[in-house]
Structure 1
Amino acid sequence: MTIHKTIPFVYQCMMSYFHVIRSWLWMVICLFLMACTEDEPPKNTPGYSPNGGLEGTTETGFHYLALGDSYTIGHGVSKSQSWPVLLTKALLEAEVSMADPEVIAATGWTTSDLLRAIKSKDDLRETYDLVSLLIGVNNQFQGRSLSQFEQEYRALLSEALAFAGNNKNRVFVLSIPDYSVTPVGASRDVEQIRQEIDAFNASKKRITEEMGVQYFNITGISRDAANNPALIASDGLHPSGKMYQFWMESIFSRIKNMLMS
């Protein structure tokens, strides 16, 4: 092959290679853009919410903030089975206008953790129409002192009241459930757990009532799991959706009255 024929041939090969590379590069860019937008609902779509968007909620409805730990997020069950979501759904079904609930909670949080999380949040509303607080089991589980719990719990309840515009009739507290009746609890000192949970709850109830806030005892319901495995989630420690439903039903009418008063 002469040089005059070789140069055009080489140039043609290079151009063909360039077109192949460009085609592949364009395909990769398209796939990347599709991956970035897949299943992401537009932020201005009616009903869209970072919390999942419960059907029937509106931005003009009552705004509810739930503070807590794994019992508040519903660890071990689907989000739709957590008691704050069940409560919101029940209120909607009772024709009470509600916005999507907001939650500040995580598995393993103690009173110290929840206080830090609240202080680090910068995207919260100034006030809410309803605020709940369920915290303390991890203080007991981790062997934290009762005196530390009392000090930090009082601070948390003050935070909850501030979120409710200092309206004591719009804040409520749930007692600490008793996990000694679960398979995981049974592997520890059951009697010690029960006694310490009772001690934490006694302090919690006293402080709550001193500050004029509604206190709901759901510990008795949690202990029904001793004779009903269906009330325990598959992890052998946390409540099942059925248990959360029972908690919600036990407080529903009083919560509805709180909002309607």
Structure 2
Amino acid sequence: MIHWLVTLVLLPVFLVQGKYVRKNTPKLAEASGPRIISNAPGNTSSTDKLTVLVLGDSAAAGVGVSNQSDALLGQLSTTLCQSLGDKDISLTLMASTGTTTQMALSRIQALAAENFDVVVISLGVNDVTKGISRDKFSSLQHQLMNLLINKFSASVIIATQIPPMHQFPALPNPLRWYLGNRAKQLNKDLTQICQAYKQTHTLTIELPNDPSLMASDGFHPGQPVYQQWAILASEHIVEKIN
């Protein structure tokens, strides 16, 4: 109730600030490079294979760095290979700028069933900016988790929490405060959702409020954030599969 009251009162301000942000924030491209990475161990006879899906939005797609090697996909490949050198590791990226939870759900609903042992998710920022309700967000997240488990046989799902939007340099206040508060609310819901499934876990990236860690647009992760994200996700994956 309070959220919608604040929205109503400050809506004119948010509209002006939103228009300003869209006009003045640099439009960065998604990271270039292969979106499927396979790393087979030296022993080519090994049948111990790990399949990983990175699913989500512009952050998952590597906006903020120039190449996938510096983005989440490439960094995750590197860290997993260092930790699981005896496994044949295959990573697939399905992500694009502007993707909401609904869009990601629709995309994988249209795919043929296949096996992904691990899914790393980056979703939520676009849900926040589009003003999704908490009930709708929770419903879509439940549908997404069930689909990943039942259709794609995911045994480990890592849902990355929405980043601290109240710290995004590209956003002016009070819009920054408003979106940041909404992100915190959806993160609480996401935590509760993940507690309902043995396969699902949340991942929070705790970093100092340092603009230098962000991309040049002040909205997306920089290379150090992608690296830390991959390290934390890799540690989580190794813990859950061993």
- 1:180 to partner: Cα distance: 2.8
Change (3 A) 1:55 1:161: closer
CA distance in 2, matches of 1:147, 1:132: 23
State the match for 2:58 in structure 1.
Answer: 70
Query: Is residue 2:180 matched to residue 1:190?
Result: no
Q: Deviations over 1:19-78 (max 9, x none)?
A: xxxxxxxxxxxxxxxxxxxxxxxxxxxxxx963546657895311111111121111212
Change (3 A) 1:207 1:153: same
3-state secondary structure, aligned to 2:53: strand
Q: Percent identity?
A: 24
More strand by share: 2
| Correspondence for 2:77 among 88, 91, 112 | 88
3-state secondary structure, aligned to 1:177: coil
Bigger CA radius of gyration = 1
**Paired residues for 1:165-204 under 5 Å:** 165=153, 167=155, 170-186=156-172, 189-204=175-190
Contact 1:51 1:100 in 2 (8 A): no
2:219 partner amino acid:
L
* RMSD (CA atoms): 2.5
CA distance in 1, matches of 2:227, 2:178: 28
Query: Is residue 2:133 matched to residue 1:149?
Result: no
| Correspondence for 1:242 among 214, 224, 227 | 224
Change (3 A) 1:52 1:217: closer
Contact 2:205 2:229 in 1 (8 A): no
- 1:250 to partner: Cα distance: 2.5
CA distance in 2, matches of 1:165, 1:234: 38
| Correspondence for 1:51 among 19, 35, 38 | 35
Contact 2:76 2:234 in 1 (8 A): yes
1:211 partner amino acid:
Y
CA distance in 2, matches of 1:141, 1:209: 25
CA distance in 2, matches of 1:217, 1:209: 12
Query: Is residue 2:89 matched to residue 1:105?
Result: no
Q: Which has the higher contact order (CA 8 A, sep 6+)?
A: 2
Contact 2:37 2:92 in 1 (8 A): no
